[in-house]
Amino acid sequence: MTSRPPQMTDRNALLRQRARAARDPVLFLHDEAAREIEERLAEINKAFTSPALVGNVREPFRRLLPDAPIVPDADRLDFTGPHDLLVHAFGLHWADDPVGQIVQSRLALVPDGLFLAVLFGGQTLHELRASLAEAETRLTGGLSPRVLPMADVRELGALLQRGGLALPVADSVRLTVRYRELAGLIHDLRGMGETNALAGRHRRVPPKALFTLAERLYSEAFAEPEGFLPATFELVFLTGWAPSDSQQTPLRPGSAKARLADALNTRETPLED
């Protein structure tokens, strides 16, 4: 029997957060991510006729693929049929089993179909994470889960291979947003639906003193000369293709038909043992 991955996300809390965010949305990161994805698709010499959207799909992604069905990023993805393009939007960083999400996406793709995901990477909110941890340690002597743990781009890129996708590529775009006070950052996170939905979070309301102290520590450690508080958002983009016999594959070692030295018109110098 296959064991279930440990539960990281309180799914009901996450859905409540997303529903509240939809009433007062903050979409500048979704706008940026949708533009990046549009540019990536424009560079591919291929027409996609049966796309689908997965995850926390907001208006910028709907404008990008207006006819695509939207699939909630539940543990089990409910695809309606085979697709030649899947865009997984801001859902994988909340997934208890991100490899399982990628495997399900691969199985829903036609051969040589494209999987393209955007999610938050490990540098996201590192300033807030450090400030809250220091403040809570000072006030209580311990730590509780307050900011979602996120992986770096290399670890996230490895998920594509584990999920069985071919020609995997992972890259990231780092944005710095400047706030006059911590409350502005918290407001934007609420409008994105990206506040604390960790299963292990404390359910009681945090003391006001925690955020007062965190803001002071944030300012002391990270404030810019003008007094603004910088907040880092790292958008990681994952690209992979459903395997197909028509895709290019690397040659076997030793199978080359010509020598590089001949092509460069130079002498080949053997390496010493």
CA distance 101 to 204: 31
For position 113, what pLDDT does the model report? Answer: 97
4-8, 97-101, 103-107: the lowest-pLDDT one: 4-8
pLDDT at 69 over 60: yes
Average pLDDT over residues 24-52: 96
Residue (of 135, 247, 236, 127) closest to 178 by Cα position: 127
76-80, 132-136, 197-201, 202-206: the lowest-pLDDT one: 202-206
Q: What angle do CA 19, 21, 24 make, to 5 degrees?
A: 125
For position 101, what pLDDT does the model report? Answer: 96
The backbone region for 232, taken as left when phi is positive above 0, alpha when psi lies in -120 to 50, beta otherwise, is beta
CA distance 8 to 4: 12
CA distance 117 to 68: 15
Give the confidence band of 248 by pLDDT, cuts at 50, 70, 90: low
> In the numeric block, which tokens belong to residue 252?
């076997």
For position 74, what pLDDT does the model report? Answer: 94
Give the confidence band of 265 by pLDDT, cuts at 50, 70, 90: low
Average pLDDT over residues 83-104: 96
Q: Are 53 and 70 in contact (CB under 8 A)?
A: yes
Q: Whole-prediction pTM value?
A: 0.86
For the chain, give the longest Cα–Cα distance. Answer: 73
Tell how far CA 116 is from the center of its chain.
10
Q: Are 86 and 118 in contact (CB under 8 A)?
A: no
For position 3, what pLDDT does the model report? Answer: 57
The percentage of residues in the chain with a pLDDT greater than 70, rounded to a whole number, is: 86
DSSP-derived secondary structure letter, 45: -
Give the confidence band of 237 by pLDDT, cuts at 50, 70, 90: very high
The percentage of residues in the chain with a pLDDT greater than 90, rounded to a whole number, is: 74
Q: Are 131 and 220 in contact (CB under 8 A)?
A: no
Q: Classify 264 as helix, strand or coil.
A: helix
Beta strand pairing call for 83-89 and 109-120: parallel
Single-letter residue type at 12: N
What is the CB neighbour count within 10 angstroms for residue 129?
Answer: 15
pLDDT at 253 over 90: no
For position 1, what pLDDT does the model report? Answer: 46
Q: Which uninterrupted H or E stretch holds 75?
A: none
Average pLDDT over residues 217-241: 97
Which residues does 94 contact at the CB level (< 8 Å), separation at least 6? Answer: 8, 9, 14, 73, 148, 197
Q: How many Å from the N-terminal Cα to the C-terminal Cα in the chain? A: 50
CA distance 216 to 197: 25
Average pLDDT over residues 112-138: 95
| Average pLDDT, rounded, for the chain | 89
Residue of higher predicted confidence among 1 and 219: 219
Give the confidence band of 147 by pLDDT, cuts at 50, 70, 90: confident
For position 151, what pLDDT does the model report? Answer: 86
123-127, 200-204, 241-245: the lowest-pLDDT one: 200-204
Q: How many contiguous H segments (helices) and E segments (strands) does the chain have? A: 9, 6
Average pLDDT over residues 4-12: 82
Give the confidence band of 200 by pLDDT, cuts at 50, 70, 90: confident
Average pLDDT over residues 21-30: 97
For position 170, what pLDDT does the model report? Answer: 96
Half-sphere exposure of 180 (CA within 13 A, CB side): 0
pLDDT at 271 over 60: no
